[in-house]
Amino acid sequence: MKDSAVKVETVYNNAVDSLKKSERTFPEGFRFAFRDQGGPSADKFISYLLRELPETRDEAAKIATIDDAFNKAVETQRSDLQARYDAMFNEALTGGAKPNPQGQKTVIARVLFGLCVPLAEEAVQGKEEEKKLAGGTPASEAYQNALVLTDAYKQQIVRLNVVCGLRGGIAAISERAVVLRQLGEAANISLLDDRQQFALDHAGGIDSLRQQAKLVGSLQQLVTASEAQKAKHASIVKDAEKEIENLNDKLHASRKMTLDELAALRQASQEVLQIRQTVRDAIRDTYRGEERIRELEKRVRELESAR
């Protein structure tokens, strides 16, 4: 934050100096001086800052420091971003003015997809995967193209598909792609209407839109790959359903065979039981017969001894 304030202070001084040599208003001179510094575009923040600064060149030249204006602009932008953040998450949590499960699921998918890039950036910091980003800045084309190829970004896409389903994930990606495509078309129309003035005032915006257009291409490839994966999964599911049907038929046949064999086993067990009972009775009768024979033999011996 301190470095940003120093840079803005430098821009302010340059803007005041340049106004002495031109007919620009202070806001025009400030924007021109800021863009002359290079680096990522910050038009929205500059608009917030200029609201806190005088509009006339003479009043602007009297300001000793713009620290207060800078801090107010930072707070205004923070409040705006916080409000947008809260609105998005509240809509995802509540489902909006007319909540319904499908609408809320769509909002959640949109929020999760929007978080893929910042969460992936946070996940790769200080890790080996950060080397894949080619040392670019977050606003650069190389950085964005490398980021969507990292495992951290892919994990966020997988998380999106797991939470919202493959269809919801594809819908969120497609919606974002449509929005970015519309932004590109709007930029092209504006460029045709006032090419020279637009190129002068929005050079940073054009570069950002070009990067976003290439990001759309990368995301479209991801959509195509996801659709191919969806078709592949549908084929696998169809084959699995057929296999389940065949296994169910075999299971029914096996159950019937098992029931028939159990009935036969019960019949055989009954017959074995009856045979065992018959053998038991025969053994009992045999024992009784042997005892009778022994008694008769004893009497015979007693009679012979009596003679």
* pLDDT number for residue 95: 61
Q: Within this chain, do residues 158 and 235 fall inside the same structural domain, yes or no?
A: yes
**Long-range CB contacts (< 8 A, 24+ apart) of 116-125?**
116/153, 116/156, 116/157, 116/160, 117/144, 117/147, 117/153, 119/152, 119/156, 120/147, 120/150, 120/152, 120/153, 120/155, 120/156, 121/147, 123/152, 123/155, 124/150, 124/152
- Kindly state the average pLDDT of the residues 216-227: 88
The predicted-structure confidence for 97-154, as pLDDT tens digits, reads as follows 565 556 677 777 777 887 788 888 888 777 766 666 765 666 677 777 777 788 888 8
Whether 279 is in a domain gets the answer no
For residues 217 and 135, the model is more confident at: 217
Quote the pLDDT of residue 2.
45
Pair (192, 232) in one structural domain: yes
- Within-domain flag for 277: no
Shared domain check, 111 and 69: no
Query: In this predicted model, what pLDDT tens digit does every residue of 178-200 receive, in sequence order?
Result: 877 887 777 677 656 656 665 56
**What's the number of domains the chain is made of?**
2
Q: Name the residue with higher pLDDT: 252 or 28.
A: 252
Q: Which of 53, 77, 94 is the last residue of a domain?
A: 94
Residues 240 and 147 in one domain: yes
Same domain, 114 and 67: no
Which of 65, 94, 123 is at the close of a domain? Answer: 94
C-alpha closest to that of 15 among 4, 2, 28: 28
Position 256 pLDDT exceeds 80: yes
Sequence-distant (≥ 6) Cβ neighbours of residue 174 within 8 angstroms: 223
Q: Which domain holds residue 236?
A: 101-252
| Residue range 18-41, pLDDT digits in tens | 555 555 667 666 666 666 555 555
Asked if residue 257 belongs to a domain, the reply is no
Neighbours of 13 (CB within 10 A): 12
Distance CA 178, CA 173 (A): 9
* DSSP-assigned letters across all residues of 73-100: HHHHHHHHHHHHHHHHHHHHHH-SSS--
Top pLDDT among 42 and 230 is at 230
Domain boundary among 237, 252, 267: 252
Can you tell me the mean pLDDT for 210-222?
85
247 and 105 in a common domain: yes
15/108 same-domain check: no
pTM: predicted TM-score of the whole model, two decimal places: 0.39
**Same domain for 121 and 18?**
no
Same domain, residue pair 87 and 58: yes
Q: Are residues 81 and 125 in the same domain?
A: no
Q: Domain check: are 17 and 112 in the same one?
A: no
Residue 183 inside a domain? The answer is yes
Kindly indicate the confidence band of residue 172, based on its pLDDT and cuts at 50, 70 and 90. Answer: confident
Q: In this predicted structure, what is the pLDDT of residue 213? A: 85
Looking at the fold, whether 56 and 136 belong to one and the same domain comes out as no
Assigned domain for 267 exists: no
Read off the pLDDT of residues 31-71 as tens digits, 9 standing for 90 and up: 666 665 555 556 677 777 777 777 666 776 677 677 777 78
Question: Is residue 142 assigned to a domain?
Answer: yes
Mean pLDDT for all residues in the chain: 76
**DSSP letters of 274-294?**
HHHHHHHHHHHHHHHHHHHHH
Q: What integer is the mean pLDDT of 150-162? A: 83
- Alpha-carbon gap, residue 290 to 88, rounded angstroms: 102
Confidence of residue 244 (pLDDT cuts 50, 70, 90): very high
